[in-house]
Amino acid sequence: MSYRVTLVPGDFYQDEFPHGHDLAFVSAIIHQNNSEQNLDLFNKVFRSLNRGGRILIRDHVMEPDRIHPKDGAIFAINMLLGTPGGSTYTYEEIKTGLLQAGFTNAHLLKKGEHMDALVEALKP
């Protein structure tokens, strides 16, 4: 199965992603970014995907009260102290960025307590 996966070196803050992919797995990344950086990342992913491709995001996904899940709330404090603009985000915040980048059918696949929530969206 390794012939189906290609690792490509690069800096996702600066480099474009190679084109022609069906899936982008964005794992434990969005919390280190501010909303503008995440929108830029989502745009890069969108451009790299084939039609019908999907983005799958694994991270803390906060409830609207921003205090649940508890691990995500504590982690948000860590991001506030340790990054220039990182945070944890609600599903609605993530969905808004995905829709702005052109994705459709964004949905929360799985809630999680320990940075194991999953959000999926499709490239039309």
Where in the chain are the domains? 24-117
Please enumerate in sequence order all residues whose Cβ is within 8 A of that of 30, keeping only pairs 6 or more positions apart, or say none. Answer: 38, 41, 57, 59, 89, 94
Query: Six-digit token pair at 17?
Result: 């992603």
Give the mean pLDDT of 50-69.
97
Give the mean pLDDT of 63-86.
95
pLDDT grade for 4, boundaries at 50, 70 and 90: confident
- Specify the DSSP element, H or E, that contains 26: strand 21-27
d(CA 69, CA 113): 5
Helix (H, G, I), strand (E, B), or coil: what is residue 64? coil
Q: Which of 5, 124, 1, 123 is nearest to 56 (CA)?
A: 123
Provide the CATH topology of domain 24-117. Rossmann fold (3.40.50)
In this predicted model, what pLDDT tens digit does every residue of 15-29 receive, in sequence order? 999 999 999 999 999
Weakest mean pLDDT among 2-11, 32-41, 99-108: 2-11
pLDDT > 80? residue 40? yes
pLDDT > 80? residue 98? yes
